[in-house]
Chains A and B, each alone.
Chain A
Amino acid sequence: MTAYIIRRIAMTVPVLFGILFVTFLMKALIPTDAVLALYSGQVSEEKAAEAIAQIRAKYDLDKPWYQQFAIYVGDVARGDLGESIRTRQPIVDEIGYRYWNTLVLTFASLVVALVVGLSTGIASAYWKGTWIDEVAMGIGLLGISMPAFFFGLILIFFFAVQLRWLPVMNAGDWKGLILPAVTLGLIEAAPLSRITRASMVEVLSQDYVKAIRAKGLPERHVIFRHALPNALLSILTILGLQIGGLLGGAFIIEVVFGWHGIGELAVKAIGWRDFTITQAIILVSATTYVLVNLVVDILYAWADPRIKLG
């Protein structure tokens, strides 16, 4: 197991370097020279040229690319993501609290998604072909096909505008968390429910389920203690992708609900053409995605005794 974990982590290192390199390259690939973009039209040409030279030196843009890359990697390793082009503030501070917000939203929506997705998936599988199954799958289909922002707006309309139970926009307290978490959670619950149903149906048709029933265990025990752990193995993979995606920032939902997370920041940064922030967000999101999948793989190996380790 330990050997497997070490190997799996070792496999992640080149991927992380790949992410660093791609975000580093983004500078070169951005169509407008960022420094020019910052100063054009604001000062005289001479002053601009001078300032540009200064800035180039400051950001090491005058050095060969490999040195620039080494400096970049070193900075990131020290937790220095540079400063915002627009505000000149360290990006880490901004991203730090936003990342926390995204984490809170991800966790809350995950709870909703798991409760709704697993319970409807299990019920559908257990009562396969009955009206329970059809209703659950029908709603699930709706969840998969409905755009998240639209669903969010519907919820805002009912619970914030009509019923006035909850704030329209996030005001920084727990009430502001409910609507975005429910929206995201229900949207994520739909695919989770489908995969849960599919793998539960698969597991329930296995010979060992019949053998377990022949032992006279209560049905509750057969489903939750025997069948579900087997089904969870395939659910876990999907869940990993979903968590990875959510932690990257649920862009539209965060904007719709004014949730100050990574996703909302990304949308703003693009509007501001603040490419250092954009770059940092891509770096953080991609890294998160890779790390979440690393954790899922390790969990998977731990949960399935049949996986040959080593």
Chain B
Amino acid sequence: MSELLQVEGLKTHFQTESGLVRAVDGVDLSVNEGEVLGLVGESGSGKTITALSLIRLVSPPGKIVAGRVMFGGQDLLQASEREMVQLRGDRISMVFQQPKASLNPVRRVGAQIAELFIHHRGASRRAAMNQAVELLARVGIPAPERKALAYPHELSGGQAQRVMIAMALALKPRLLIADEPTTALDVTIQAQILDLLRELCRDTGTAMILVTHDLGVIAQTADRVSVMYAGQIVEERPVARLFDDPRHPYTRALLASMPVQGRVAPRLGAIPGSVPPPGRMPAACRFAPRCAVRAERNMTICTHEMPALYPVEGGVSRCWCDAPAEATT
């Protein structure tokens, strides 16, 4: 398996009136060709901003201040805006959380898909429309010829997300970033949409970063998982290892808060305490104030120094417990 995307030390900060918000503060990620990387973390941990940073679509005042995003032998953070425009939607595409809000309300659905073929492939309007209809059929939209002429408000949430998926995979990108693609949908439809995403990605050989709150979704879909906390990655493991033997105390707490199989709404948030506010971000381990292990073992280093990502079985963990002996002394 060759490496498709490698992110190192990515930092995206917001200069706001109430101070500097370090939404993404040193994120490291890697995605291999064709694999599904799950990105989990509580609300506000910086998942969406990370995703947007990869394709350089963070809106001001957000600014990428450091890091490297290596993709296809090129650092995307150094690429020209022109190169980024060519790359977006073609080699890296994105699916958003709110499908109905992600479509232009005054343009027909078919035309919104077709413009991808027109702009990236130089297709004629007519050929592009035909391809759009084919794609609509491919993502399971009934009566695709008719739906191609529909406006977004005439679609259900599930259909709108199918349309977004059709657009995202239209040009067979190498990487798809799916930011909570099922959160806004009906529970009954969530599984269908996930299946569709997985199936289409497999067909086109597209790798996926699947951003979610939902550990159930991760367990079903991902090959590897990166766990995010307060703007940083705290653990990265193959999915089976993460669930069997979580290393970082935050991951353990997350898994403990997961409801028993079969129950609804496996949402995060059952960990005591909350994510530190931007102004009072600990300079050392960010999870230390909420960490049960630190409290139990009475570890002082956790509140004094930032742990690095230390190798653990199959991956890495940002915890002093996993640090090699020489690092702690």
Closest to A306 in B: B153
Interface size bucket, A side?
20 to 34
Task: Report the minimal beta-carbon distance from B167 to chain A, rounded to whole angstroms.
Answer: 6
A306 & B90 in contact (Cβ 8 Å cutoff): no
Task: Report the minimal beta-carbon distance from A17 to chain B, rounded to whole angstroms.
Answer: 36
B88 & A230 in contact (Cβ 8 Å cutoff): no
Per a CB cutoff under 8 Å, which of A205, A213, A221, A230 touches B106? Answer: A230
For residue B59, CB closer than 8 A to chain A, the reply is: yes
Chain B residues whose CB sits within 8 angstroms of the CB of A217 once the complex forms: 85, 89, 115, 119
Closest to A210 in B: B57
Chain A residues whose CB sits within 8 angstroms of the CB of B55 once the complex forms: 214
A216 & B104 in contact (Cβ 8 Å cutoff): no
A214 & B93 in contact (Cβ 8 Å cutoff): yes
Which A residues between 205 and 243 are near B, CB-CB below 8 angstroms? 205-208, 210-219, 221, 226, 229-230, 233
For residue A305, CB closer than 8 A to chain B, the reply is: yes
A221 & B119 in contact (Cβ 8 Å cutoff): yes
For residue B285, CB closer than 8 A to chain A, the reply is: no
Task: Report the minimal beta-carbon distance from B30 to chain A, rounded to whole angstroms.
Answer: 22
Chain B residues whose CB sits within 8 angstroms of the CB of A221 once the complex forms: 115, 119
B164 & A211 in contact (Cβ 8 Å cutoff): yes
CB 8 Å contact bits of A193-210 with B (1 = contact, 0 = none): 000000000000111101
Cα distance A29–B93 in the bound complex, in angstroms: 70
A207 & B101 in contact (Cβ 8 Å cutoff): yes
A211 & B102 in contact (Cβ 8 Å cutoff): yes
Cα distance A218–B120 in the bound complex, in angstroms: 10
For residue A71, CB closer than 8 A to chain B, the reply is: no
Cα distance A229–B105 in the bound complex, in angstroms: 10
Chain B residues whose CB sits within 8 angstroms of the CB of A304 once the complex forms: 106
Cα distance A306–B154 in the bound complex, in angstroms: 9
Closest to A215 in B: B89
For residue A135, CB closer than 8 A to chain B, the reply is: no
Closest to A129 in B: B60
A229 & B106 in contact (Cβ 8 Å cutoff): yes
A207 & B96 in contact (Cβ 8 Å cutoff): yes
Cα distance A226–B102 in the bound complex, in angstroms: 12
Closest to B85 in A: A216
Chain A residues whose CB sits within 8 angstroms of the CB of B105 once the complex forms: 208, 230, 305-306
Chain B residues whose CB sits within 8 angstroms of the CB of A214 once the complex forms: 55, 57, 88-89, 93-94, 96
Chain A residues whose CB sits within 8 angstroms of the CB of B153 once the complex forms: 305-306
Task: Report the minimal beta-carbon distance from B104 to chain A, rounded to whole angstroms.
Answer: 5
Closest to A218 in B: B85
B101 & A206 in contact (Cβ 8 Å cutoff): yes
Cα distance A208–B160 in the bound complex, in angstroms: 12
Chain B residues whose CB sits within 8 angstroms of the CB of A229 once the complex forms: 106-107
The winner among B52, B104, B115 for most chain A CB atoms within 10 A is B104
B94 & A226 in contact (Cβ 8 Å cutoff): no
Cα distance A229–B111 in the bound complex, in angstroms: 14
Cα distance A211–B117 in the bound complex, in angstroms: 16
Chain A residues whose CB sits within 8 angstroms of the CB of B89 once the complex forms: 214-217
Closest to A204 in B: B59
Per a CB cutoff under 8 Å, which of B59, B90, B103 touches A216? Answer: B90
Cα distance A217–B86 in the bound complex, in angstroms: 8
Chain A residues whose CB sits within 8 angstroms of the CB of B90 once the complex forms: 216
Task: Report the minimal beta-carbon distance from B207 to chain A, rounded to whole angstroms.
Answer: 17
B164 & A216 in contact (Cβ 8 Å cutoff): no
- If A303-B106, A305-B151 touch, does A208 touch B86 (CB 8 Å cutoff)? no
Cα distance A141–B187 in the bound complex, in angstroms: 52
Chain A residues whose CB sits within 8 angstroms of the CB of B98 once the complex forms: 207
Chain B residues whose CB sits within 8 angstroms of the CB of A210 once the complex forms: 52, 57, 59, 96, 102
For residue B87, CB closer than 8 A to chain A, the reply is: yes
Cα distance A213–B115 in the bound complex, in angstroms: 12
A216 & B106 in contact (Cβ 8 Å cutoff): no
Task: Report the minimal beta-carbon distance from B151 to chain A, rounded to whole angstroms.
Answer: 4
A233 & B106 in contact (Cβ 8 Å cutoff): yes
For residue B116, CB closer than 8 A to chain A, the reply is: yes
A211 & B103 in contact (Cβ 8 Å cutoff): yes
Closest to B88 in A: A216
Task: Report the minimal beta-carbon distance from A186 to chain B, rounded to whole angstroms.
Answer: 30
CB 8 Å contact bits of B65-100 with A (1 = contact, 0 = none): 000000000000000000011111110011010100
CB 8 Å contact bits of A32-68 with B (1 = contact, 0 = none): 0000000000000000000000000000000000000
Task: Report the minimal beta-carbon distance from A174 to chain B, rounded to whole angstroms.
Answer: 37
Closest to A233 in B: B106
Cα distance A213–B56 in the bound complex, in angstroms: 10
Task: Report the minimal beta-carbon distance from A15 to chain B, rounded to whole angstroms.
Answer: 29
Closest to A304 in B: B106
Which B residues between 21 and 78 are near A, CB-CB below 8 angstroms? 52, 55, 57, 59
Chain A residues whose CB sits within 8 angstroms of the CB of B116 once the complex forms: 215-216
Beyond the given A211-B96, A214-B89, A229-B107, please list 7 additional residue pairs across the A-B interface where CB-CB is below 8 A.
Answer: A210-B59, A210-B102, A213-B57, A213-B88, A214-B57, A219-B85, A221-B119
Which residues from chain A sit less than 8 Å from chain B, CB to CB? 205-208, 210-219, 221, 226, 229-230, 233, 303-306
A-B residue pairs in contact (CB < 8 Å), sample of 12: A206-B101, A207-B96, A208-B101, A211-B94, A215-B88, A215-B89, A215-B116, A216-B87, A217-B115, A226-B104, A303-B106, A306-B106
Which residues from chain B sit less than 8 Å from chain A, CB to CB? 52, 55, 57, 59, 84-90, 93-94, 96, 98, 101-107, 115-116, 119-120, 151, 153, 164, 167
Q: Which 10 A-B pairs have the closest CB atoms?
A: A216-B88, A216-B89, A211-B102, A215-B89, A305-B151, A207-B101, A214-B94, A306-B153, A226-B104, A208-B104
